[in-house]
Amino acid sequence: MSVFYRKMIPRLKPAINAAELLAALRPDGLDEIRLFEEDFAQLMGQKHAVAFPYGRTGLIYLLTALGLKGKEIICPAYTCVVVPHAIVYSGSTPVFIDCAPDGFNMDLDLAGKSITGNTGAIVATSIFGYPVDLDRIKAIQEKHPQIKIIQDCAHSFAAEWKGRPVQKQGEAAIFGLNISKLLTSIFGGMVTTDSDKLYHDLKQLRDRHLTVSDWKKTLRRLLYFLSLYPTFWEPLYGLVNRLERSGILNHFTQYYDDAKIDMPDDYRLQMSSLEAKIGRCNIHKYRKILAARRVAAKIYFTGLPNLPEFQLPPEIDGATYSHFVVQVPDRKQWMEYGLKKGIQLGQLIEYNIPEMESYGSHPRGSYPLSAKYSRSTINLPVYGGEEVAKSVVRIVKKHIQ
Ligand SMILES: Cc1ncc(COP(=O)(O)O)c(C=O)c1O
């Protein structure tokens, strides 16, 4: 009985409810994807948005539209591994840079020093919702005007650096829209830009190279979407967690293979109108979603001790806290403890990309911080505002004392 009904706070929870269900089930209008793109561009304060089946597909075609084939693309060593995969798929080579000493984002001074005659772009990622330092980006742009800046906002959405939105500084920004992101269309990605030319080139490439979504994709996405309701229902989450740990759900949750540079089978099958309808509905909740995360982060910063054995992340104005990441020496023990007490603690980016088998042949630099974070970080549930955060603080503090 307890296996099925054990109440558990999940590590993540998409903001979907009856509104998204109704949106998904209503008949398609004339141009759902275009409407989603328009709403998304407006939310991000940008002129254009182009929808893709995944954020990584958007990055592949963005690099192509920018004419960067055969170039070196600078990107973080500590990021989602699908980013360098997309760089490789676009015909370019990733050049990895370690994290800056003061946070999880890439060291932009090191990135600037790594620019060569063959560098085409820098993928500047606001990891975990921490805004990239736009002053440093600007300095790079001034010194190397030929280098394209691509903002990776998959974790940050509208994060701000000293009041300036990160997505607007550079040629374009990419976004991921899967269920672990601040906004979701279940799967999906977006590229935003203020450039008319880039927008037209990108759209043309997408429409030429991607297949229009079919009923089979729509059905697969609908079934996946419907399965999320019981999955994230707290009384059942204990069971979901057990299945996840047993490996039975690997097919759904394992998104990379250490030894392979690959893409999902459907990475060139366009976004379905079902996803666009859900995404459009979710956009209306963005302010609330963000507010809940900032409230939870505040409660963690004020309620939890900052210790060498439980090191809190930086508190930065303008961060969107897609994840609240703490460093601990014994991650496994913390995760076990959380489970016993009814909280699922997450681990994300549990790899240092240059150490992965798939990137073993790439020229190696030194990545001590990326290696350290890949082994020591856990993340606390941050989606549930005050209520969830207060329960987590209570439980976590008991384990520290
Ligand atoms: C930092 C970062 N960039 C890009 C992406 C790509 O998004 P997608 O999974 O939609 O391809 C992700 C995905 O999780 C990510 O975490």
Task: Express each pLDDT in 207-223 by its tens digit.
Answer: 999 999 999 999 999 99
Position in ligand 1 atom list of the atom nearest CA 54: 10
Mutate to test the pocket of ligand 1, among 152, 185, 210, 323 (most ligand atoms within 8 A of CB): 152
Q: Which of 233-242, 337-346, 351-360 has the lowest mean pLDDT?
A: 233-242
Q: Name the residue with tokens 């054990």.
A: 6
Rounded (5°) CA angle 92-268-51: 90
Distance (Å) from CA 190 to ligand 1 centroid? 11
Distance (Å) from CA 83 to ligand 1 centroid? 7
Distance (Å) from CA 1 to ligand 1 centroid? 37
Position in ligand 1 atom list of the atom nearest CA 174: 4
Strands (E), 53-163: 72-76, 93-97, 119-125, 148-152, 160-161
The pLDDT, as a whole number, for residue 1 is 43
Strand order in the sheet with 148-152: 48-52, 189-193, 172-176, 148-152, 119-125, 72-76, 93-97
Beta bridge partners of 377: 327
Average pLDDT over residues 308-315: 97
* Residue 229's pLDDT band (cuts 50, 70, 90): confident
pTM over 0.75, yes/no:
yes
The C-alpha atoms of residue 184 and residue 286 are separated, in whole angstroms, by 10
Q: Is 189 exposed, middle or buried (0-12, 13-18, 19+ CB in 10 A)?
A: buried
Q: Which of 193-202, 239-248, 337-346, 380-389 has the lowest mean pLDDT?
A: 239-248
Q: What integer best gives the mean pLDDT of the chain?
A: 93
Average pLDDT over residues 67-92: 98
Q: Any residues with Cβ below 6 Å from ligand 1, and which?
A: 54-56, 79-80, 82-83, 125, 152, 154-155, 176, 178, 189
Q: Residue 3 pLDDT > 60, yes or no?
A: no
The pLDDT, as a whole number, for residue 251 is 60
If you take atom 6 of ligand 1, which residue's CA is the nearest one?
A: 55
Average pLDDT over residues 220-231: 90
The C-alpha atoms of residue 145 and residue 201 are separated, in whole angstroms, by 21
Q: Residue 5 pLDDT > 60, yes or no?
A: no
Mutate to test the pocket of ligand 1, among 83, 347, 377 (most ligand atoms within 8 A of CB): 83
* Residue from 184, 215, 191, 187 nearest 205 by CA: 191
N-to-C CA span, the chain: 32
Average pLDDT over residues 136-163: 97
* Residue from 97, 93, 82 nearest 260 by CA: 82
Distance (Å) from CA 106 to ligand 1 centroid? 16
Position in ligand 1 atom list of the atom nearest CA 180: 14
In this structure, what DSSP letter does residue 184 have? -
Mutate to test the pocket of ligand 1, among 50, 75, 80, 185 (most ligand atoms within 8 A of CB): 80
Q: Which domains does the chain have, with CATH numbers?
A: 1-401 (3.40.640.10)
The pLDDT, as a whole number, for residue 248 is 60
pLDDT tens-digit profile of 97-130?
A: 999 999 999 999 999 999 999 999 999 999 999 9
* Per-residue tokens: 338: 């959380």
* Residue 252's pLDDT band (cuts 50, 70, 90): low
